[in-house]
Amino acid sequence: MKKIFSLTRLLLIALCAFFALNMSAQEQKTYPTQAPMQPAMSEYWIPQPKIVTPGTATQNAFLSAPSDAIVLFDGKDLLEWESSKGGPAQWTVHDGVFTVNKKAGDIQTKRKFENYQLHIEWMIPTNISGKSQGRGNSGVFMQGMYEIQILDNYENETYVNGQAGSVYKQSPPLANAMRKPGEWNVYDIIYSAPVFKEDGTYRIPPTVTVIQNGVLLQNHTTILGTTEYIGFPKVKKHDAGPIVLQSHGDPSEPISFRNIWIREL
């Protein structure tokens, strides 16, 4: 790179900086920014929730959708889903289930929802490897904003506010009710959307109840804001949003989903 170019670039940067500062001086004072955090600052490991072995359930006799539900996946296709980056949802449908495709990124429902009862089943593959968060990591997001963690916590410990059924990095589950890899786990979720004030803060925060395999994990838990990997939850105004399923991109084998339906409340 030539010197003359570098100088031009320097001038350009200076100009941009000048306008940016000038604008911010007109618009608002400069305030200290919140000091940056590290992920491990919002992770705590004790007390680990009690391990509860869920009741038996016939793995092939699952609860099908009530008559007023919108069926989001019935074993055949991903027509109700799209890529979160746009375009079709390119996860793999096979044998009545679909499986995360790491290369395709997150997928989300085409429809947007506010208040609902959601049923979703997921399975960790038997050949899973890794540990802590690096073992069967996915997640289901309410309104595209608030993650209920999906993870293989069967004989695999992690920070408790990042465990399966946690409101991620906020609220640990009341129990560890995992079925082992190769068996289907069921989430029954009751979600109430937030109501916002005009200034973008919550008048009424979102709440969530989560039942895994018949065991209560979240009991009308208040969600404090977005479920951030780093730092505190954030409160951002939003409208109805999709159900998002996370492609976490871990090196080990991907997890699968089946029997997804939603009832609007």
Q: Which parts of this chain interact with a second copy (CB under 8 A)?
A: 28, 31-38, 40-48, 50, 52-58, 61, 63-68, 115, 117, 119, 157, 159, 174-175, 177, 188, 190, 192, 195, 197, 199, 203-204, 207, 209, 211, 213-216, 219-220, 222, 224, 231-232, 263, 265
Q: Which amino acid makes up residue 229?
A: Y
According to DSSP, residue 50 is labeled P
Taking the complex as a whole, the smallest distance from the CB of residue 187 to a second copy amounts, in Å, to 13
According to DSSP, residue 198 is labeled T
Which position has the token pair 């993870």?
151
Q: Which residue lies nearer to a second copy by CB, 99 or 132?
A: 132
Taking the complex as a whole, the smallest distance from the CB of residue 28 to a second copy amounts, in Å, to 7
Q: What whole-number distance in Å separates Cα of residue 101 and Cα of residue 105?
A: 7
Taking the complex as a whole, the smallest distance from the CB of residue 91 to a second copy amounts, in Å, to 24
Q: Which residue lies nearer to a second copy by CB, 140 or 160?
A: 160
Taking the complex as a whole, the smallest distance from the CB of residue 135 to a second copy amounts, in Å, to 16
Q: What whole-number distance in Å separates Cα of residue 187 and Cα of residue 178?
A: 11
Q: Which amino acid makes up residue 6?
A: S
Residues 129 and 252 sit within 8 Å (Cβ to Cβ): yes
Taking the complex as a whole, the smallest distance from the CB of residue 167 to a second copy amounts, in Å, to 13
Q: Which residue lies nearer to a second copy by CB, 49 or 254?
A: 49
Chain centre distance of CA 187: 13
Q: Which residue lies nearer to a second copy by CB, 100 or 151?
A: 151
Q: Which amino acid makes up residue 219?
A: N
Which position has the token pair 């705590």?
44
Which position has the token pair 């009741």?
55
Residues 126 and 85 sit within 8 Å (Cβ to Cβ): no
Taking the complex as a whole, the smallest distance from the CB of residue 30 to a second copy amounts, in Å, to 9
Q: Which residue lies nearer to a second copy by CB, 84 or 135?
A: 135
DSSP character string of 100-147? --GGG--EEESS-BSSEEEEEEEE--TT----GGGSS-EEEEETTTEE
Q: Which residue lies nearer to a second copy by CB, 149 or 259?
A: 259
Query: Nearest CA to 24 among 16, 13, 35, 14?
Result: 16
Taking the complex as a whole, the smallest distance from the CB of residue 112 to a second copy amounts, in Å, to 15
Q: Which residue lies nearer to a second copy by CB, 77 or 157?
A: 157
Query: Residues 6 or more apart from 26 whose CB is under 8 A from it?
Result: none
